[in-house]
Amino acid sequence: MSPGILNILIGVAMGLNLIALASSRLPSLIRAMSLQGVVLGMMPLFMGHESLDWRVAAVAVATMVGKGVIIPSLLRRAMRAANIEREIEPFLGYVPSMMVGAGGTIAAVALARALPLLPEHAETLLVPGAIASILTGFILLIGRVKAISQVCGYLILENGIYLFGLLLIHSTPLLVESGILLDVTVGVFVIGIIVDRIQRAFDSLDTRKLTTLRE
């Protein structure tokens, strides 16, 4: 375990959370999210005890390709098809959402101190990083109105859960890891199709227009 490098990577991922919250242009939001995916994918490589396990390497490569290449390219295609570049009027502005995100990150570090953790995990930033990313994901899900931004929020939420899952990396079998990753990728694929259909049916990707169904 080399907490030094691992903590630097988690720090980068937490910084990318704030960049995602501050991005008004969709391409930069997608870039922040995919970069975070690549950083996350590298982490298992620095968590091995002595020698590198091939299964851990396989998870790392699959994560980097899935989160860093496949998912972002699916989203970019949906974005081009819908012909939108930026979020015009978010529910929650960029500066306020960044303030909430930064405050949440500090709170996450404080909260993680209070949680009962094994000594080898207490010295890493895994748990605070996970909490901060989950919070960022929720802010994007609630605070943005364009469907693609909400999908990015959902993926950052997933990234946070992945960070938490790294605590268990030496006990979770590869089959489960890859099944989870496959599900997430297929999920984004399905979401991409729906985004495309919503664009065609409503001629917009503004989720505020999805208000026909109510009591």
Binding stretches for another protein (CB under 8 A): 115-118, 134, 141, 147, 150, 154, 157-158, 161, 164-165, 167-168, 170-173, 175-176, 179-180, 183, 186-187, 190-191, 193-194, 197-198, 201-202, 207, 210-213, 215
Dist CA 155 CA 176 (whole Å): 19
Tokens in use for 136?
């960022």
DSSP-derived secondary structure letter, 67: I
At its nearest, how many Å lie between another protein and the CB of residue 135?
Answer: 12
Tell me which H or E stretch contains 94: helix 94-114
CB of 173 vs another protein, minimal distance in Å: 8
Q: Which CB atom, from 50 or from 215, has the smaller least distance to another protein? A: 215
Residue with smaller CB distance to another protein, 95 or 113: 113
Name the minimum Å distance from CB 9 to another protein.
Answer: 19
CB distance 72 to 32 below 8 Å: no
d(C-alpha 131, C-alpha 128), whole Å: 5
Number of residues assigned to the chain: 215
Closest approach, Cβ 31 to another protein, in A, equals: 22
Q: How far, in Å, CA of 181 to CA of 162, rounded?
A: 10
CB closer to another protein out of 8 and 174: 174
